[in-house]
Amino acid sequence: MPSGLYINYNDGRPAMEITANLRCPSFCRNVGSAGSTTEVISEYIPGSQLIYIPSRAAAYSPPSGTAIIGTVSYLRNVTFNGALMTHDSVDNNGIWAGQVWQLLPVNSPSGNRGLLIANSTDFSVISDVTRIMTCIWHGNITINGQAAAPTSGVLFAKWNHPTASITLENGVLYARESRTDSSDVNANVTIYAAIFNVSSPTPGVGLNIINSSGQCTFSTARKPLIYSGSFSPTSNWQDIGSNMVPLGTYGYEASNGGGWCNMRLRGLMMSGNSVKTGNSKITWQWTDRYSIVGSRNVGISIPLIPDIY
């Protein structure tokens, strides 16, 4: 067993372990704008690691004027240089909609009092509790084609269905059989989800950590969002261990079928502990006389969280 703090909630859920290298993400802002491919994240704390999660990473624009072929735009990559975020896109001069977080710096032996776990976020020196993300809902959600998310927030999930692709768009979960033809086939999938929102923890029975301003920054009464690593979604299965993934959209595929060019956004597929991208519902459709066939996964790393919620 690793050294650290072991917390058993005795409610049927896995225990929480605060061990070396535990990192606490903090919410920065929602993003999404036109006219510039860069944005300064003013909430950035030096020493933190910025993370971007896309809510939409591709789009189709029908032809305009004298043009006869539309345009497929998509996000290729996102980079950070300090507080400056840059989106590398095709046919899109803007910032794609999504969220930006930061992994707070690890603690340092500077004389602070509190819980000291090696190379981990020091909850005792978090000064702005309005940015902490805690679990506000957890449980099973059955998606028969589509289902509304139980509440707003960042949704992480875990499931087991080797042929279904799951996306989250504007608060709606979609489950589709991953296909490339003209059919749009619903999938029936039950996921286990944990939803996080910006909310300061409420002290309760168990362990509470209070900062110098008297604010509660950690409480076992409400589990904080804990970062356990990251992975880059691709079209090949990858073993991510016993972790949960953030739902959104992570690319696109456009293919011909039934006389149409059918464009789908790409979600995530999960079989056991393995994850890859897969095609979701048909979102755009136009005549295959002017088809734009292709596919792309977003070239970014997305966070994982442990299956403890």
Q: pLDDT tens digits for 102-152?
A: 887 765 444 444 444 445 555 555 555 556 788 899 999 999 999 999 999
* Distance (Å) of CA 57 to CA 60, 90, 174, 259, 267: 11, 11, 16, 26, 10
pTM: 0.86
pLDDT in tens, 169-215: 999 999 999 999 999 999 999 999 999 988 767 777 767 777 777 77
Q: 105, 123 in Cβ contact below 8 A?
A: no
The more confident residue out of 156 and 7 is: 156
For 82-100, write each residue's pLDDT tens digit: 999 999 999 998 999 999 9
Sheet (strand 84-90) strand order: 38-40, 84-90, 71-81, 58-61
Q: What distance in Å separates the CA atoms of residue 93 and residue 101, rounded to the nearest whole number? A: 22
Quote the DSSP letter at residue 155.
E
Q: What is the pLDDT of residue 106?
A: 61
State how far the Cα of 124 lies from the Cα of 112, in Å rounded to an integer: 8
- Strand runs labelled E in 47-145: 49-54, 58-61, 71-81, 84-90, 94-103, 133-144
DSSP 47: T
Quick check: 24 pLDDT over 50? yes
What does the pLDDT read at residue 146? 97
At 228 the pLDDT is 87
Place of tokens 């305009």: 64
pLDDT band for position 17 (50/70/90)?
Answer: low
- Per residue in 38-74, pLDDT (tens digit) is 999 998 988 888 999 999 899 999 998 888 899 999 9
Per-residue pLDDT tens digits for 248-301: 999 999 999 999 999 999 999 999 999 999 999 999 999 999 999 999 999 999
For residue 230, the number of C-alpha atoms closer than 13 Å in the C-beta half-sphere is 14
Which two tokens mark 173? 């979960």
Three-state secondary-structure class, residue 74: strand
For residues 134 and 195, the answer to whether their CB atoms sit within 8 Å is no
- Which 3 state secondary structure label does DSSP give 129? helix
pLDDT of residue 111: 41
Give the pLDDT confidence of 211-255 residue by residue, as tens digits: 777 777 777 777 788 888 899 999 999 999 999 999 999 999 999
Residue 294: its pLDDT value, please?
93
Instruction: Quote the CA–CA distance of 267 and 174 in Å, as a whole number.
Output: 9
Q: Using 50, 70 and 90 to split pLDDT, how confident is the model at 21?
A: low
Q: Which residue has the higher pLDDT, 168 or 130?
A: 168
Q: Which of helix, strand or coil describes residue 87?
A: strand
pLDDT band, very low/low/confident/very high, at 4 (cuts 50, 70, 90)? low
Q: Among all chains, which residue has been given the structure tokens 């690319």?
A: 251
pLDDT of residue 235: 97
Residues 6+ apart with CB under 8 A from 304: 227, 228, 229, 230, 231, 240, 241, 243, 244, 245
